[in-house]
Every structure is written in C-alpha cells, then in structure tokens.
Amino acid sequence: MEAVTQGVGRMVSQLGKLLGVIMVGLVAGLSAVGLGTKALVLVPAMAVGFVLIMTPYSPLFAIVAAIPVNVEIAGPITVIRLAIVYAVFAAFLQGMKGQAPKMYLPLPEGGVPLCFFIWIFFATVAVSEGELVNRLGGFLIHGIVFFFVLMYVDTLDRFRKVMLTLVIVGLVQVALVVGESRFGIVVVGGFQAELAAQSDEEVRAIGTSAHPIFLASFFQIVMVFGVFLMVTTRYPLMRIIMLASVAMFLFAWYNTWSRSSWIGMAAMIGLTMMVWSKGTRVLAVIGGGLVFVLLATHDFSMSAVIRTIDSLAAVQRGSVRAGVSESTQSFSWRTENWSAAVSIWASSPVFGVGIDRVHTFMLDHLPPGALGHRFVPAAVPHNMFLQVLAEAGLPALLLFIWIWITAIIATLRAWSVRILRPYAFAILVVLGGQFTTFLFNPIPREIWFSLAMALVLGRMAKQHLATQNADPTTGEKA
C-alpha cells in the first residue's frame, strides 16, 4: 500500500511539473504575441523574480537594477512599475518571515525627503486638474527608489553589492548602445527608434532610458563605481574586468552625445584630481586657471566660449551625426527655458503650477525675442532646481536644497571615518557630476539613488562614531 501511495505521489509530482512547463509555455507564447521581442526578456525576468522572491534583500537589487530602465511593456505597465510591485510584495514577505528588515521609515535621514514628497503631492493636488496619478507617478517612483535604498543598504558589503549590481546593468546598457550605434539594432524602441527612422547615419544612443541625457548620467555613475571596485578589490581578475567595463562605459557614454554631461564629467574629473593627491591637486588648479583664461579671452561670455567649441571640426561632425542642434542654440534654448521657469513660478510662488504642467505655460512666459524655442517649442524646466520651483513652489525648492546639503554633509562625515573614506570619495564624485549635469536638465531617478547612498554613508558614519565613543565594558557612551 505504501508503495502504491509513493507511486501516486510521484505521478502527481510529475504531472504538476508537466502542467508547470505547459503554463510557462503558454505565458511565453501569449507574451510573445502581445509584447513581441520584449517577452524574450520579460518572461525569464519574471521567472527569476519568483525564484528570488524569498532571497533576502532581493527587493533592493530589483529596484536598483530597474533605475535606468524606462521601458513600457503594455499600456501603463512599465518595467520599473513591475519592479516596484515585486519589491514591495517581496519586502513584505521577507519582513514577515524575518529574512530581512521590515519596511520602515528611516529616520532621521528620511525626514526631510518625506516632507519634500508630501509637499509635492499636496502642491500638485492643490493646483492640478485631473490625471493626478499620471502626473505624480514619476515622483512616486523617485520616492520609492530613494526610500528603498535608504532602508535596505545597511552594511558596507551591501553598499558594495549595490555598486556591482549597477555595473552589471551598465554592461547590459553598453550592449544595447553597441547594437544601436554600430548595427542599427533597436531593441526597446522609443526615442532612439524615432531618431533612427529619420536618418541612416549613426544617432544618439539611449539604451533603456527615456532620453540620451539620462543614459549619460547613468554611465557617469557606473564609471565611478567601476573605478572604485577596480581600485579596492583584492582580486587581479576583478581589476581587469572592471578596467574593461569602465572603458566600455566611456565608449557608450560618448555615444549618447550629451553635451551637458560633458560638463558633469569635467566636474567629476576636477573633483577627483582635487582629492586624489597633491600632484593631481596642482594639475586641477592649473586646469582651473586655463578655464579662467579661456573665459577671459571670451569676455567671460559662456555663449562665446560655446561658439568656439562649436567651431571645432570634431564637435561639428558629432552634432551632425547625433542629429542635434548646435551647442549655441541648445544653450540659448536653456537660458530661455530658465527665464520662463522663473516667470511661471512667480505666477504661483507657493504651490507652483503642478507636476508635469509647466510646458502648458511655457510659451506664454518666454522672454521677449526668444529664438531657441523654435527648435523645441516647450518642455519641462531644464534645471533640476528650477523644475522643482516652477512645479511645486518655493517650499519644495527649499526642502530639495536642504536634502542636497544634508547629503553632502553626510558624505563629508563619512570621509572622517577611515573605513568609509573610499566610499565617500566615490559618492562625492558622483554627486558632483550629477549636480553639474542637472543644472542643465530635469531631475532623473538617478539623483534620488545617489542622494540616498550619501545619506546611507552618513548614517554608517554616525553608527561607527557612536560605537567608538561607547564604553567597551558596558556599551554605553563614555
């Protein structure tokens, strides 16, 4: 009888596996019909997600890996939204089973950012007319990225694994860039597909981002992380892999042809040289002097400097290949955009005009004689601080500035702790590059990731200093 029972059990088990295979096949087939080539990535990713759902801290890495992915699957369903649903569900289960910390509000580090996002919500509700979910969706994603990183990056080992995760994602983006720029293969469509349809020449790479500028910002981050991992690893093979990765990131970053990112890259290099050694500090000072001379010979006019850069043959060829306007036109467009953003804010100084509504007011607030907007009639403010000011008012801007100041202070606090200093160095360089780049562009998700990582370091520094100051016999502070 026992043998019969065991035989029936084995048969049921095999039948269950067969049905599982059939169901996976059906899902894959239907997905391929409905989603096309996206199903080739989506279905395996969902299968991996189910396998990892009870793996501790998998929600954190799912959110981090999805940061540069702005791909629509079907209608309102996007990759990042699926990742968020998975992350929240998995984090809840893991917290209930004690496999990872339960979701919580990380205070005091998260206090000001929470006030910022709450103000964004109420300001948009106060002034907007309908479609609140669509308007607030982007900032909701930014908040979730920020708080997941702040909650779950709780050790240096995890901090390092987050860096490595983004480097791996960066290599995937490199493969997409190579496909786009060298072979004309467009996997996810979107902005890049539109450009490719307009010209047979090579065009700006976009990967899975919403715009080449955002992909360039992402490569700025992973280049720093790749160098950090290369310098701090004990394994020669890892050093070689990271060196090769950084070279590929640099190639892919160049193919985005994001000129505002060039400024961010210059800031990152300058910061690195100022901190690395006395010799590089001298070189940085010399470089700053040369920049001053360049400005002086152009009557301290940024437009004149940009015209000189535009006249370089290599820059002209790159601009034609990328299908973008001349740098002087782009800079003129931005200055008009900034002026209009301030004027829009002045019309509603407390609440702003609401998330994703600035473009509807832009043309009425352009300065007299505006010419740049004949190329792009209206757009969100291309300065992260002016974007916050125009969309959510002065209180939101003050909170946003406070977050930045707190993040920089947290990074400098981590700098004072020897074991944290290399991490603080990396994050400080990332923040410097992003701060500079997004003085010329709207806010991306990557900003909130970097700010959260800085605050994590500050928290670790406080914990380390508190441990050092505690009485070794009682554990109490001396």
Instruction: Name the phi and psi angles at 57, rounded to 5.
Output: 70, 10
Q: Hunting for tokens 């067969």 — which residue is that? A: 18
- C-alpha distances (whole Å) from 394 to each of 37, 120, 240, 397, 414 are 45, 11, 48, 5, 30
Q: How many domains does the chain have?
A: 2
Closest CA relative to residue 291, chosen from 319, 322, 267: 267
Predicted TM-score (pTM) of the model is 0.83
> Is 351 within 8 Å of 397 (Cβ atoms)?
no
Compute the distance between CA of residue 149 and CA of residue 425 in angstroms, rounded to an integer: 19
In a domain, 2, yes or no: no
- C-alpha distances (whole Å) from 443 to each of 92, 141, 328, 456, 463 are 29, 12, 23, 21, 31
> Is 463 within 8 Å of 477 (Cβ atoms)?
no
Which H or E run includes 78? strand 77-78
Handedness of CA 332, 177, 435, 312 (dihedral sign): negative
pLDDT of residue 452: 96
167 with 250, same domain: the answer is yes
In a domain, 423, yes or no: no
pLDDT of residue 324: 63
| Final residue in a domain of this structure, among 80, 103, 126 | 103
In a domain, 130, yes or no: no
Question: Tell me, what DSSP letter sits at residue 382?
Answer: S
User: Residue 30 CA to chain centroid, in angstroms?
Assistant: 32
**Dihedral, CA of residue 117, residue 118, residue 122 and residue 124, to nearest 10:** 10
In a domain, 285, yes or no: no
The low-confidence residues of the chain, meaning pLDDT below 50, are 4, 8-9, 11-36, 192, 196, 199-200, 202, 473-475, 477-478
Compute the distance between CA of residue 87 and CA of residue 62 in angstroms, rounded to an integer: 7
Compute the distance between CA of residue 317 and CA of residue 384 in angstroms, rounded to an integer: 30
Residues 6 or more apart whose CB falls under 8 angstroms from that of 91 comprise 59, 100, 103, 148, 152
> Is 147 within 8 Å of 109 (Cβ atoms)?
no
In a domain, 199, yes or no: yes
In a domain, 168, yes or no: yes
Compute the distance between CA of residue 458 and CA of residue 107 in angstroms, rounded to an integer: 12
Compute the distance between CA of residue 249 and CA of residue 222 in angstroms, rounded to an integer: 7
Domain that holds residue 94: 33-103
pLDDT of residue 51: 61
Compute the distance between CA of residue 8 and CA of residue 16 in angstroms, rounded to an integer: 12
- C-alpha distances (whole Å) from 307 to each of 191, 326, 331, 372, 388 are 27, 9, 10, 15, 30
Residue ranges in 311-375 assigned as alpha helix (H): 313-322, 327-347, 359-362
| Final residue in a domain of this structure, among 210, 236, 256 | 256
171 with 245, same domain: the answer is yes
| Final residue in a domain of this structure, among 256, 284, 319 | 256
Which tokens sit at 478?
């001396």
Instruction: Name the phi and psi angles at 470, rounded to 5.
Output: -80, 150
In a domain, 428, yes or no: no
In a domain, 82, yes or no: yes
pLDDT of residue 224: 96
176 with 87, same domain: the answer is no
Amino acid at 203: V
| Cis check: omega of the bond before 108, within 30 degrees of 0 | yes
